[in-house]
Structure formats: C-alpha cells, structure tokens
C-alpha cells in the first residue's frame, strides 16, 4: 500500500487509542493531527518501515509525551503508570504485538514485557464499578457479563432493547454503560445511550464489529470503542480508562 493508503487504513485505530488514552475526543484528535503532520514531514523515511504502525503510533506517543497537559492528572489513574496504561491500550485495545508496542514507546522489549505483566496484575486490583450491559444477543451478553465480573466489576443488569436499557439505567444508576451499537429489533444501542445520557452522567464503552463506522471524524464520536470479538484484557483496560477518566 502507499503512504496515503496506510495512513487511511490505520488512522481510525490511532484515533481510538488517542481517545482512550486522553479520555477526550477533541484533545486526542488534536494530538493525532500533530503526529500525522510529523509523519508527512518525514514521509520518505516512514515509507521504508516494514510496519506502518510503528512510525504512526511512535509519532503520536512522542507528541503525547511532549504535551504534558494532555494526560489527565486524576488519582484514579495512579493505579497504573502512564507507560503501563499505554502498553495495555496498545496491546489489548489495538492488538499491537508486545515488541511493536514497546518500539512505539522507545522501550527495551524485555523491560516492556515486565511492565506489561505488572500492569495486568495491577489492573485486576483496580477499583470496581457497576456495569449495565446493553446487548440483544443472549449468548454474547452472557460472555460479556462473565468478562466484566472476571475483571472485578459488578453487572447490575442486562438490557436487550432501547426501552429496557433506559429504564434500567434510570433505576440502577450504573457506573458504566457497555453498549452494542445495533440491538436488532430492540432498536439502536447508540440511541439508548443518547437518551440515558440526558439524565445520567455515566461513561460509555461501545462494542461493535464495525468500529470504522463510528470513527469517521465526521461527527461527535464515543470516547471508548471495542471491536468484536475482543479479549478480556481489552475490556478490562477500556473499562478502567473509561471510569477513571470520566470521574
């Protein structure tokens, strides 16, 4: 693929990583824009890289490190160091190999593996929250609930329709919404979330098989998006980031 093709293909993933790390769409996109500018200025060197994700995510991480104001200074985030959160997001949410994630952060691979192992252990001890799952497929909802509980959180309800999701959210006041985009005959998960957020201030993680449909940059987008199918660690770190950066 050409430089432009690579950039367009991997840009949605970078924007998702930026959003999850910073906790804000506008701030994340601003750093992404600056990083892409750096890449364009060095396009010839970048084109020689065997994996475009290395210069792309490295450019972002360098820009993020230079922008100290972009990292939310919240006590809830102190459970994990910034580097640990970045490694977890890169490997669990963006599915980068351990060695590639380390390289984007200019870390020694051995040191990176040790940090990653420590981060996974710490994540299991992070503060729990009450989760409302909005999912119309019973088997998928059951699997998600199991992962949520394994991650140390409490499932306070499972809603299969828009109406039920709104009703349960108002009654149970969850600390996090975990919502599928499409609820089939039960309506739209995104519409359910929009209605819930009119009366409740709660962080949201969207689960979808088609994240590129949400990460277009054409409208307001969710801060946290997980791609189906997902690994338990991806949900764990996204949940941690969503709850911690939303408080």
158 against 188, higher pLDDT:
158
pLDDT tens per residue across span 131-160? 999 999 999 899 889 888 887 889 999 999
Inform me whether the pLDDT recorded for 123 exceeds 60. yes
Contacts of 161 (CB under 8 A, 6+ apart): 136, 183, 186, 187, 192
Q: What does the pLDDT average to over 112-132?
A: 86
Q: So what's the pLDDT on residue 219?
A: 46
Domains of the chain: 3-124 (1.20.140.160), 130-246 (3.40.50.2300)
Contacts of 180 (CB under 8 A, 6+ apart): 134, 135, 136, 137, 140, 189, 206, 207, 208
**Nearest one of 189, 163, 188 to 177, comparing CA atoms:** 189
Inform me whether the pLDDT recorded for 32 exceeds 70. yes
Q: How many Å is the maximal CA-CA distance in the chain?
A: 57
* CA distance linking residue 209 with residue 228, whole number of Å: 5
Inform me whether the pLDDT recorded for 114 exceeds 90. yes
* CA distance linking residue 60 with residue 101, whole number of Å: 12
Q: What does the pLDDT average to over 79-85?
A: 88
């Amino acid at each position: 693929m050409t430089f432009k093709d690579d950039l367009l293909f991997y840009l949605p993933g970078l924007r998702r990583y930026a959003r999850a790390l910073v906790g804000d769409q506008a701030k994340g996109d601003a750093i992404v824009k600056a990083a892409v500018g750096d890449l364009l200025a060095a396009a010839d060197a970048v084109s020689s890289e065997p994996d475009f994700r290395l210069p792309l995510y490295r450019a972002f991480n360098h820009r993020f490190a230079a922008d100290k104001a972009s990292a939310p200074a919240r006590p809830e985030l102190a459970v994990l160091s910034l580097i640990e959160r970045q490694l977890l997001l890169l490997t669990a949410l963006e599915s980068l190999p351990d060695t590639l994630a380390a390289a984007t952060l200019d870390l020694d691979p051995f040191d990176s593996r040790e940090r990653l192992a420590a981060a996974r252990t710490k994540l299991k001890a992070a503060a729990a929250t009450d989760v409302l799952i909005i999912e119309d497929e019973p088997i998928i909802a059951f699997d998600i609930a199991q992962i949520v509980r394994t991650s140390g959180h409490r499932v306070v309800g499972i809603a299969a329709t828009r109406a039920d999701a709104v009703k349960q959210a108002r009654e149970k006041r969850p600390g996090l919404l975990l919502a599928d985009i499409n609820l089939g005959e039960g309506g739209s998960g995104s519409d359910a979330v929009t209605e819930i957020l009119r009366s409740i201030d709660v962080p949201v993680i969207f689960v979808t098989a088609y994240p590129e449909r949400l990460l277009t940059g054409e409208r307001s987008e969710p801060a946290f998006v997980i791609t189906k199918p997902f690994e338990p660690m991806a949900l764990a770190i996204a949940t941690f980031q969503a709850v911690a950066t939303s408080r």
